[in-house]
Amino acid sequence: MQRPHMWIKLPNQDEIDCETITKGLKFLQDDSDLSITNTYLDSAGIEGSVLERQTYSKTAVNANFWLHFGSWYDYKLAKHDIARVFGQKGLMRIRTDAEPNIVKYVYATSYTIKPIGDFYHDALFTITFDNPSGLKYSLYRSDELVNHQNDGKQFGMNLPNQPLNYHWSSNSIECYNPSDIAVDPYFGKRDIRTTIRFSGSSIKLENKTTGSAWTYSQSASANDTIVIDGINTYRNGELDNSHTDYGYLNLAPGNNLIQATGASSVDVTISFPFIYLE
């Protein structure tokens, strides 16, 4: 039977297996539950409430560990090693062997480690992580999958049984979004980046599936790089919203048909992490 594993990546550090933090530390399991917050509008004198909005809320990820130690001095040293990792500030990335290609971005919170009883050499403890987005994400972004044909994919990621492409050199683009939800940079503040190189006096990208569209009214050549990062547009690294119609692109779950018009040649890459509810 395969033992469970958790990997953690601290800010600006390499990913490590949690069991390498200190001798005798074993990861047991982790779990979390989806949280949805409903906001209602109430009017005096009128019965009932009207739904105003729904949002995905912060969730708690409970990770359970077992620590086996020899002497009391070993126990104190092990606690120090654990604190050096799980006591760090900043956004951490965690994943487990149950979902090796799906990650959660979390913050550590307070925790308590103590032996299961006097004169025992074992401690069972739980570290609760705050997941501020309440969501899970693919380990790799969409455009990175081409370099990870033998990994980066698993059951439960809504991936079709066919190669996926996120780089196009044609006016007609078919972009598949395996996420459980829409990738919307405006209403959902989702991470999506579209890189465009085109030749012509202007260009318009329109998602025929969702109705979202973006227009750039300045001429460009193939040497120029236009990036739609969320709801902002950059030209060769400089903010350039003024030459747009302040539009943006979003993606519905499943196939999205995107049309590029106005340019004589186009090269488009759409990069985003896949998003999962549970």
CATH code: domain of residue 195: 2.60.120.860
48 is a domain residue: yes
Average pLDDT of span 130-141: 97
Question: Rounded distance, CA 236 to CA 255, Å?
Answer: 30
Instruction: Out of 74, 104, 134, pick the residue that ends a domain.
Output: 134
- Which helix (H) or strand (E) segment is 40 a member of? strand 36-41
72 is a domain residue: yes
What pLDDT, in 10s, does the model give residues 73-132? 999 999 999 999 999 999 999 999 999 999 999 999 999 999 999 999 999 999 999 999
102 is a domain residue: yes
74 is a domain residue: yes
264 is a domain residue: yes
> Could you tell me if 153 and 42 lie in one domain?
no
Instruction: Out of 107, 134, 161, pick the residue that ends a domain.
Output: 134
pLDDT confidence band for 145 (50 / 70 / 90)? confident
How far is CA 76 from each of CA 34, 68, 121, 123, 171, rounded to the nearest angstrom?
A: 36, 12, 12, 12, 63
Instruction: Out of 92, 111, 134, pick the residue that ends a domain.
Output: 134
Q: Name the 3-class secondary structure at 77.
A: helix
End-to-end CA distance of the chain: 25
Number of domains into which the chain is organized: 2
The predicted model scores a pTM of 0.92
26 is a domain residue: yes
**Beta-bridge mates of residue 265:** 199
> Could you tell me if 124 and 203 lie in one domain?
no
Is residue 230 pLDDT above 70, yes or no? Answer: yes
pLDDT confidence band for 264 (50 / 70 / 90)? very high
Domain that holds residue 237: 141-276
Q: Kindly report the CATH number assigned to the domain that includes residue 27.
A: 2.40.30.200
Average pLDDT of span 144-148: 85
Question: Rounded distance, CA 23 to CA 106, Å?
Answer: 24
How are the residues of the chain apportioned to helix, strand and coil, as percentages rounded to the nearest 5? Answer: 10, 45, 45
What pLDDT, in 10s, does the model give residues 39-85? 999 998 889 999 999 999 999 999 999 999 999 999 999 999 999 99
| pLDDT in the model for residue 1 | 61
> Could you tell me if 150 and 65 lie in one domain?
no
Q: Cα torsion at 79, 82, 84, 90 (round to 10°)?
A: -140
Question: Rounded distance, CA 12 to CA 273, Å?
Answer: 19
> Could you tell me if 57 and 147 lie in one domain?
no
| pLDDT in the model for residue 72 | 95
1 is a domain residue: no
Q: Which amino acid is at 66?
A: W
- 86 φ, ψ to 5°? -80, -5
| pLDDT in the model for residue 249 | 97
